[in-house]
Amino acid sequence: MKLVNKRIVITGGTSGIGYQLVKSLHSANEVVVIARNPHKLNKLAHDFEGVITYQTDLSKLEEVELVTDAIIKRFDTIDLLINNAAIQSVASFLDDDFIYRNICTEITLNFTSVCCMTYRLLPALLHQNRSTIFNINSGLALAPKTSSAVYCGTKSALNLFSQSLRYQLEKTNIRVQQVFLPLVDTQMTKGRGKNKMTSSNAARIIIKGIERGVSEHYIGKANLLRILLRLTPWLAKKILKKY
């Protein structure tokens, strides 16, 4: 799929990888951005002419329903849905600062909203031309680290969801793709890790993967993790357990 003259819906498009995707794609496509912060959305619309924005908290399913209803009502077709929005809590269940209510918030935003967005936008994705559902995943979907247990769980769930959905849609015009990223330098990873991939580089690789139609795209250290899990799974898990 050549990403020119396409209608693209991106969640979490006001910062990090999502922002870089919008920056790269908006000039040659019609880009629709769903995000939570109204001030960042206004700036995005000001900076990138033609970008359409919807202010939505994807951790609240009633808002997911409202925004998908509005998009379906406005647009007959969608060529590409990029499920990018995610949050990560690094507190351990044993930590004094662990916040119980964040469990449901993290699961809903990272996984449940992806399922709901996908289902509710299917009528616009099902058409005579090729369309794509693209889920942005993490190497932590393959093996967990010690911190961020809920985040790791949601990314593992997203991995299997993407594979199963691909089976369901294989006789339609829709392709289901996902990318497994290493640690990327975003606001979510601020203060953690070293030698992080830049969000602009991640966006560039993602776009190439979409255009090439790569179903399971393993990037950088995520690809190394995949190989280690195949050859020496005990070593891969031992390494990640440190984090």
pLDDT of residue 125: 98
Percentage with pLDDT > 70 across the chain: 98
Question: What's the mean pLDDT when you consider all of the chain?
Answer: 95
Whether the model clears a pTM of 0.85, i.e. scores above it, the answer is yes
The pairing of beta strand 174-181 with beta strand 52-55? unpaired
226 pLDDT exceeds 70? yes
Cα 140 to Cα 211: distance, rounded to the nearest angstrom: 24
> Domain extents for the chain?
7-241
The predicted model gives 126-155 an average pLDDT of: 96
Give, in order, the Cα–Cα distances in Å from 6 to each of 38, 86, 97, 128, 140: 25, 24, 44, 14, 31
Instruction: Compute the average pLDDT of residues 43-63.
Output: 97
Residues forming a β-bridge with 178 = 135, 216
Query: Per-residue pLDDT tens for 170-206?
Result: 999 999 999 999 989 777 777 666 778 999 999 999 9
Domain covering 7-241, topology: Rossmann fold (3.40.50)
Buried b (16+ CB within 10 A) or exposed e, 60-76: eeebbeebbeebeeeee
Q: Please enumerate in sequence order all residues whose Cβ is within 8 A of that of 214, keeping only pairs 6 or more positions apart, or say none.
A: 177, 179
* pLDDT value, residue 188: 74
Distance CA 208, CA 1 (A): 10
